[in-house]
Structure 1
Amino acid sequence: MRRPSKTFLLFSGAFCAVVLTATGAHAIGDEGNRQPSTGASGNAAGNTLTASATTTRIKVTRISGGGSGNSPKALAPVDPNWQPPACWYEPVATPEELKGAVDRLKKGGDLVAVTPSLSWGEELMVTQYEKGEARTSDSSGYKNYNLGKDGQFWRGVINEERQDDAESYACDRTLFWQDANTLPANDHAPTPDVLAAYAYDKIKVPGTEVELKPAGESKVNLPTWVWLDRATFKEVKVRADLEAAGVWAETTAKPVALHLDPGTGDAETYPASGDCEINADGSIGTPYSKGDAERTPPCGITYLRASGGGPYRLKASITWEISWEGSGGSHGDLPDGTFEAAQDVTVREIQAVNR
């Protein structure tokens, strides 16, 4: 289900609302700390309470690992049914900011986005948020914008990675009030586990190829040693902060195993399962040393047939164990992630001459 790309008018008596259009926008309180968005958005002029459907105040920071020098790649969850959250609620405006937005609306300013997909005009905004008369069943009326109260008005935000999913409409509750230092009592509150799952989707891991010996080409019936340097494959930690709500989470991806697929059935892997576990020092496998040619590697492959007309496509997939900790002492686990890299391996017959 895709969001509308054109503007539609929805009439209810003397009041009108407009579905957000696909133009650029920023929201009240946007001082450059929001994540970029490419989703459907409202029409903004200045610092008004209009915003793109996917504009979020969640700040994402890479704490460690996954440096850009290693061509970082996104993880694929082992569980094919796992997905990051489709939407959640966030604080969007103080009473003063909401009043300012409506005051500008009275002077011909932009409509106010009351849900990710819906904006209201002057009469609806004044009725519900200035006069205090509820216009929807999912939100109360707020006399004089709740000026003098400690808290903020909240609105739904859509994950830009899932904005075409039907589930993203689950956070369409009309702009509502939340007391300071509290979270909404619903399934789409930005709890630490939600932020942890959001951070998971932002994790990038090194895309470096595995080390091979012999390098360049292998020989039939001679072991090929495979290993990963501990300096490259370190833990990757990403932090997601929603400071306006006082909630944070840090999600950590830890490399735990390497799986080898030789690219042909005419090969033996070491171990036989093809699963090379991580060593105590954080490395995987053992680097080849002079004199190891006849030894069985702890992590490696023996090819039994030459690659012939073209190289074999060796696939090496690394499993990353995912855990998180967050505000309030919360913590937990998320599905393991994997990243698969492929590289060509040429295998040749060893030529022998009898005299």
Structure 2
Amino acid sequence: MWAGNYPNGAVYIVTCTAPLGAPGTSGGWVWLATPPDGFGATETTPGELAARAVELMQLTGPAIGHTPDPGLTGLVGVPVWLWTEVGPTTWGPNTATASVPGLSVTATAQASEIAWEMGDGTTMRCANPGTPYHEGGIQSPTCHHVYQQSSAGQPDDAYRITATTTWQVTWVGGGASGSLTVTRTSSSTVRIGEMQVLITG
């Protein structure tokens, strides 16, 4: 039964069933190097393992970057640059495999967009991670917002930015495949002031 492979792998008994009322067929013993799909995992579905693989990725909301830097104050009418640091947990791609005896599912996640709720009633949807600010930059080439009013009167005199990343996940394993969508959120604050111009004659 071991076909000369002992002690590697294992020997399994194969049972061949038939529809009710039909004659059954005999099975037999077979040596396999690894457990067959689903062996010992009859209570865990591929979809459940896919969800577990997503947990293993430890996906997060954006690692938010914006102008002005925290602690500084921006100006009404001046573009606020928006971006996230790019990495496996903040933008992707990210891959993880979840397993139980005899069954493994591999999932791959890639962010597709970030929805930036700017705290002034505006939501910016950017299908990219944004562009980090560089000295001398005026308007972000990928993702920015222009405030029309100062943040005076807001909690702590600052607008709260809430950024939600949408992740597209595909998975395969156990003779099945599928896809799912997950979201992750993070937040920051930004202060916006108005420039006062004094003209003397």
Same fold (TM over 0.5): yes
Q: In the aligned structure 2, how far is the partner of 1:353 from the partner of 1:247?
A: 73
Percent identity reads 28
Q: Given the alignment, which residue of 238, 241, 263 partners 2:119?
A: 263
The 3-state SS of whatever aligns with 1:198 is helix
Q: Is the 8 A contact 1:238 1:252 kept in 2?
A: yes
CA distances 1:7-38 after superposition (whole Å, capped 9, x unpaired): xxxxxxxxxxxxxxxxxxxxxxxxxxxxxxxx
Q: Given the alignment, which residue of 146, 164, 177 partners 1:317?
A: 164
Q: Is the 8 A contact 1:209 1:343 kept in 2?
A: no
Q: In the aligned structure 2, how far is the partner of 1:229 from the partner of 1:182?
A: 39
By how many angstroms is 1:208 displaced?
A: 5.1
Q: Given the alignment, which residue of 58, 67, 91 partners 1:213?
A: 67
The 3-state SS of whatever aligns with 2:77 is coil
Q: Is the 8 A contact 2:46 2:174 kept in 1?
A: yes
CA distances 1:128-167 after superposition (whole Å, capped 9, x unpaired): xxxxxxxxxxxxxxxxxxxxx946xxxxxxxxxxxxxxxx
Q: In the aligned structure 1, how far is the partner of 2:36 from the partner of 2:43?
A: 13
Q: How large is the Cα RMSD of the aligned pairs?
A: 2.7
By how many angstroms is 1:333 displaced?
A: 0.9
Higher strand share: 2
Q: In the aligned structure 2, how far is the partner of 1:182 from the partner of 1:289?
A: 52
The 3-state SS of whatever aligns with 2:49 is helix
Q: In the aligned structure 1, how far is the partner of 2:61 from the partner of 2:165?
A: 10
Change (3 A) 1:296 1:201: closer
The 3-state SS of whatever aligns with 2:146 is strand
**Counterpart of 1:234?**
92
**Counterpart of 1:91?**
none
Q: Given the alignment, which residue of 319, 339, 350 partners 2:184?
A: 339
Higher helix share: 1
Match status 1:300 vs 2:156: no
Match status 1:351 vs 2:196: yes
**Counterpart of 2:47?**
193
**Which runs of no fewer than 5 residues in structure 1 stay unpaired?**
1-148, 152-178, 279-283
CA distances 1:257-315 after superposition (whole Å, capped 9, x unpaired): 111101113x5x6xxxx11012xxxxx1122233332x365311111111113211111
Give the aligned residue type for 1:322. V
Give the aligned residue type for 1:236. N
The within-5 A match list for 1:37-76 is: none
Q: Is the 8 A contact 1:255 1:319 kept in 2?
A: yes
The count of aligned residue pairs is 161
